[in-house]
A and B are shown apart, each in its own frame.
Chain A
C-alpha cells in the first residue's frame, strides 16, 4: 500500500484535487467495462492448443472474412471521412431552411436499432426494391453482395465523422478563411492550406471511430450481405456461426484475431494522428 501511495505522490504535483479518486475510478471503470470482458476472450482461447488455434484462424473461410470485413470497413470509413466532412461543412457554414432537421437526421444511424437499419436497407436495395430494381436493370446488384455490406457500413458510420468534425469547424473562425482570401489565396489553397490542416485531426478521429464501428457491426449487415461463405460472410458472422455450434474456443480465437488487428490498426492511426498534430504544432512555433 505504502509503495503505491509513494509512487503516486512522486508524480508532479497538480493544483487540481481528486487525482487519486479520479484515477482509481477510471482504472476500476475501464477494468470492469473493457478489460475484464476482453480478457475472458483471451482466457477462453487458452483452452486451445497452438495448432488448433492456428488451424481455426487460418481456415479459408475465416481468412476470406477478414479480408472482406477489414477492407469494406476501411472503404466505408473513407467514404464517410470525405462525405461526412462535407456534411459537417455544410451544416456549420451555411444557413438553409430545414437545417435543424438535417442536423438531427445525421444522428439517426446512431439511434436506430441496427437490425432495423439492415431490414430497411435490404428492402430498399433488394432486386424488387425501390433502388434495387433500377440498379439491377443497370446490371448492379447491391443487396446480397459485398456492395450491400458497404452500403450498410457507410450508413452506420456517418454520424461519427460529422459529429467529430462539426465542433472543430464551429470553433474555427471564419476570419481565417477571409484573411487567406484577402491575402490572395485561391479557394483551393484556402481549403488545402488553411481549412484542411485544422480539421484533419478530427476527421481522422471520425474515420477511426467509423472504422472501428464498422469492423464490429453485425446487426445491420447480416440482413443485406447474403452471407455466402467465401464471398459475403463477415467475420462477426463467422464468430456467431461458431457459437451456434457450441465451439466457444473457436469463436474466441477468431475474436482474438479481430481484437488484435483492430487494436493494431487503431494504434497506428492514433500514432499517425499524434505525429501529424505534433508536426503542425511545431510549424506554428
Chain B
C-alpha cells in the first residue's frame, strides 16, 4: 500500500514555540494539580485523612484530631494527620459529590449523607446503620437564646408565636441547623395537636421572623451583634458558644420542655477510602468518637454525648428535656425534605400565604 504523506504546513516558528510553551505550562499545571497529591499519602508511616464537616464542629474536631492521632500512634506506630474542612452542611455534601476527596463525612443532617449515596453513589444505602445510634456519636437539640433577664418571658414554643415577639433563625432551605430548628418547632406542635396544628404553628412562627440568614452562624450574628429579635432559635452547642463568646451578662439559654433530638451523622466515604487505602484509619477515627475519651471531648465541646456514663457526668451541663426524633414527627429525611423544604412544600407555602 502506498500512502502519500502530505507535506506538513510550514509552521510559523515563533507561534509554534509560544504554543508549545503554553501547552507545556498547561501540562505542568495539571501535573501539579492531579498527580502530586496522589503521591503524598504513600509513605506507610504517615497517613493523612480528610474530615469534611459542617460549620460549628471546628473546635470539636480540632480536639478530637489530636487525641485520635496520639491514640492511633500508640496502637500502630503510624502518624496520622487529620485535615478538616468546614462549611454549610449542604455545601460540604455537594463538594464531596463533586469530587472533594473526603475520607470521612461528618455532616449536620442525615439528608446530606443520604445524598452522598443517591446523588454521588459514594457510600452504600445503609451507610448510617454501620455505627451505633444511627451513626450519630453525639447529639444536640434546638434551644432558645434570649436576652439577659428574658424580658419577653419566653419559656415554651407557644411563646414564640405571640405577636410582639421577633424570632431569629436561619433559612431552613439553606442551613442544616435551621432545618432542625424548623422541625423542632413543627414537632413540638405536631405532638400536641397533629398536622393541622403544626402547620398553623410554623406559619405563625415564621411570620414572626424578620430576617432569614443563610446559615446558623449568620443568624447568631444578627441576633447577638445586630441586636435584632427577642429569641434565637438555634443548636444547643451554638447557644453555649454564643453565651461564652458574648458573656453571660448579655444572653441566657432557655431550654424548652420538649425539643428535637438532632442526630448529626458520621460515615466513611467508601469510594474515597478504598481509592486511598485509608479505610482502616478512617473507620478507627469514627469509632474513636464513641470511646469514653472521645465522648468526653464531645461533651466538653457542648454536644450531648451518647455514652451513658459520660452523659451522667455532664448532666449538670445539659438540662433534661423530652426529646422526640425526626421519625416521631415527620418520617424519613427523604419524606421530610419533600413535604417541608422542597419547592412548593410547607415552608414555601408559609410565604405564599403571607403574600397572596
Which residues of A does B touch, CB under 8 Å? 1, 5, 18, 20-21, 56, 59-61, 64, 119, 122-123, 126-129, 143-144, 222-223, 226-231, 237, 240-247, 250
CA distance A227 to B171 in the complex (A): 8
Interface 1/0s, chain B 10-25, versus A by CB < 8 A?
0010010011000000
What are the residues of chain A within 8 A of B226 when measuring CB–CB?
Answer: 122-123, 126-129, 143
B257 contacts across to A, CB distance below 8 A: none
Smallest Cβ-Cβ distance to B171: which chain A residue? A227
Query: Once the chains bind, are A246 and B211 in contact (CB under 8 Å)?
Result: no
Q: Which of B119, B218, B354 contacts A230 (CB 8 A)?
A: B354
**B15, A123: Cβ atoms under 8 Å?**
no
Question: Are B352 and A228 neighbours in the complex by a CB distance under 8 Å?
Answer: no
Q: Is the CB of B210 within 8 A of A59?
A: no
Q: Tell me whether B115 is interfacial, beta carbon within 8 Å.
A: yes
Most chain A CB neighbours (cut-off 10 Å) among B88, B91, B119, B174: B174
> Could you write out 22 A-B pairs with CB less than 8 Å apart?
A20-B12, A60-B355, A64-B355, A119-B221, A123-B226, A223-B218, A226-B211, A226-B212, A227-B213, A227-B214, A228-B212, A229-B351, A230-B354, A241-B171, A241-B173, A244-B91, A244-B173, A244-B174, A245-B90, A245-B337, A245-B341, A246-B90
Q: How far is the CB of A34 from chain B (nearest CB, A)?
A: 18
Residue pair A21, B337 in contact (C-beta under 8 Å): no
**Docked pose: A251 CA to B222 CA in angstroms:** 27
Minimum CB–CB distance from B245 to chain A (whole Å) comes to 16
Judge whether B212 and A227 touch: CB under 8 Å. Answer: yes
CB distance from B114 to the nearest CB of A (A): 10
B residues less than 8 Å from A227 (CB atoms): 171, 211-214
Which A residues lie within 8 Å of B90 (CB)?
Answer: 243-246
Confirm or deny: B121 has a beta carbon within 8 angstroms of a beta carbon on chain A: no
The one of B171, B210, B343 that contacts A144, using a Cβ cutoff of 8 Å: B210
B86 within 8 A of A: no
User: Which residue of A21, A60, A223 contacts B18 across the interface (Cβ within 8 Å)?
Assistant: A21
| A231 CA to B52 CA, complexed, in Å | 34
Interface string of B269-310 (1 = CB under 8 A from A): 000000000000000000000000000000000000000000
Is B225 engaged at the interface, CB distance under 8 Å to the other chain?
Answer: yes
A222 pairs with B214, CB closer than 8 A: yes
Residue B348 lies at the interface, judged by CB distance under 8 Å to chain A: yes
Q: Are B227 and A126 in contact (CB-based, < 8 A)?
A: yes
Q: Does B228 contact A (CB under 8 A)?
A: yes
- The docked-state distance in angstroms from the alpha carbon of A243 to that of B343 is 12
How long is the Cα–Cα vector from A240 to B88 in the complex, in angstroms?
12
Q: How far is the CB of A263 from chain B (nearest CB, A)?
A: 26
Q: Which of B226, B228, B354 has the most CB of A within 10 A?
A: B226
Contact residue among B214, B228, B355 (Cβ-Cβ distance under 8 Å from A126): B228
Q: How far is the CB of B236 from chain A (nearest CB, A)?
A: 23
